[in-house]
Amino acid sequence: MKDYNFFKDFRSNIISQYEDCNAYKLLCSSQFYDPSKDLNMEVDMERVPFIETTLFKKSANMYTILLRTEPKNLEKWTVSSSTSGDPSIVGRSKKDMLQIKEFIQLEQERMDTSSEYNCVFYPEPEVMKKYKSTQILDRPTESYIGNILSIFPYSENTNYLLHPSEGEFSVDMEYFIKFLNEHNHKDDHVSLRGSTPLLYNATQQLKERMKPFNLGESAIVHTGGGGFDGKKGTINIGTKIERWRFVEEVSSFFGIPEENFIDTYSFTENTFPITGHYSKEQKDYLFHIPRWGKVIIRDIKTLRPLHKQGDRGLIQMLNAYGTSSFAGASIMVDDMAEIVSETRCPECNAEVMTIKIIGRVKGSEAKGCGATLDIKEVVKA
């Protein structure tokens, strides 16, 4: 396995980003920051200026300014699913796409990709990638999650339950029920994966008309792409889903142990997905930060880095890899997390920073987006 020297590689990535992307350089200058002079030790990483994910939104109209290369060098624009119709747009080269693939492969074991029979609460990857795809500067836009799905090494027996109908998607419940009956009481290595609200919704529907199933000890539930606030893309089930309630209800109805629940957190502007395993004791998913990435949790008001167990704040992600085409080396997302431990997962003892994902910051809680204003003013001046 490749050896990652995160600090060294992050330093060279941020210095190149400073040189390649004028908008980022201006942001740094406005904070009197020069990475080649100011980033010398690991602790200095906390001072590296970050770009907020809101700047990648279509409405901010800065996604070309945030490139580190000419648009002709991009393979595609990866686009987030968006309830509001204001997606993030991130230009990626072929090399940067391959980096995402490498990180997913490195997490294969944790994501239990070897399951033999899979039901996925998403459309087929190619369908999802092309859904509402357009061209920007001669390059196609493609769903980010669609790209993740096409990278994910599913076995041959995989059924994507979301089928297009009348411009939207609907869940093939008939197939889902058939799948459940086929594997009931068999202890097969099956997985239910995909969108949290859709799986939750399907569970609620079945509960009203069927007896619980028993998929057994070898079955897993792997959700991804958020949605615990009840919203994801065009899906809105109107209620927030508490993680423990999701796990308890889905676990008891399908007869899948709670320990077999995992969730993957990623967003369009980031390169390394993080995966959490469910802790019965903590009633939440515990996400491991892999050694090829770094997370800083910042106070929501002061933006000061936090370090204590139980501290909650905004999530900043540092990327040493996979951002050669866009200014994604230091990204602040409008989601909050809680520090479980900076050094070790209390449940499985892995020696990694461990966090819980709390969810989207509400408008009123959010800080005045200081950095956003900075960069917009500086760039447009």
Looking at beta carbons only, is 237 or 350 nearer to Zn ion? 350
Least distance (Å) between residue 340 CB and Zn ion: 9
Distance CA 116, CA 118 (A): 7
Looking at beta carbons only, is 347 or 374 nearer to Zn ion? 347
Looking at beta carbons only, is 329 or 345 nearer to Zn ion? 345
Residue range at the interface with Zn ion (CB under 5 A); choices 56-64, 91-99, 307-315, 340-348? 340-348
Looking at beta carbons only, is 45 or 345 nearer to Zn ion? 345
Q: At residue 157, what is the residue type?
A: N
Q: Applying CB under 5 A, does 348 fall inside the site for Zn ion? A: yes
Residue range at the interface with Zn ion (CB under 5 A); choices 9-17, 163-171, 310-318, 342-350? 342-350
Least distance (Å) between residue 280 CB and Zn ion: 13
Q: Applying CB under 5 A, does 345 fall inside the site for Zn ion? A: yes
DSSP string spanning 31-92?
TT--HHHH--SGGGGGGS--EEGGGGBGGGT-TTTTBSS-GGG-SEEEE---SSS--BEEEE
The neighbouring-strand residues paired with 333 are 315
Least distance (Å) between residue 337 CB and Zn ion: 15
Least distance (Å) between residue 95 CB and Zn ion: 31
Looking at beta carbons only, is 98 or 348 nearer to Zn ion? 348
Least distance (Å) between residue 278 CB and Zn ion: 10
What is the DSSP code (8-state) at residue 116? S
Please give the torsion angle defined by the CA atoms of residues 149, 150, 153 and 158, in that order, rounded to the nearest 10 degrees.
Answer: 70
DSSP string spanning 212-238?
PP---TT-EEEEES--TTSEETTEE-S
The neighbouring-strand residues paired with 57 are 88
Footprint (CB under 5 A) of Zn ion, residues 100-159: none
User: Are 155 and 117 within 8 A, CB to CB?
Assistant: yes
Total residues binding Zn ion (CB under 5 A):
4
Looking at beta carbons only, is 71 or 257 nearer to Zn ion? 257
Q: Applying CB under 5 A, does 274 fall inside the site for Zn ion? A: no
164-224-64 Cα angle (round to 5): 80
Nearest Cα residue to 167 out of 93, 232, 234, 122: 234
Residue with the CB atom nearest Zn ion in the bound state:
345
Nearest Cα residue to 345 out of 321, 309, 295: 309
Nearest Cα residue to 234 out of 177, 173, 165: 165
Q: Applying CB under 5 A, does 353 fall inside the site for Zn ion? A: no
Residue range at the interface with Zn ion (CB under 5 A); choices 32-40, 226-234, 254-262, 350-358? 350-358
Q: Applying CB under 5 A, does 329 fall inside the site for Zn ion? A: no
Looking at beta carbons only, is 186 or 344 nearer to Zn ion? 344
Least distance (Å) between residue 49 CB and Zn ion: 31
Q: Applying CB under 5 A, does 352 fall inside the site for Zn ion? A: no
Looking at beta carbons only, is 15 or 350 nearer to Zn ion? 350
Phi first, then psi, for residue 313 (nearest 5°) are -170, -170
Least distance (Å) between residue 352 CB and Zn ion: 8
Least distance (Å) between residue 338 CB and Zn ion: 15
Buried b or exposed e, range 91-115, using 16+ CB within 10 angstroms: bbbeebbebbbebbebbeebbbbeb
Residues at the interface with Zn ion (CB under 5 A)? 345, 347-348, 350
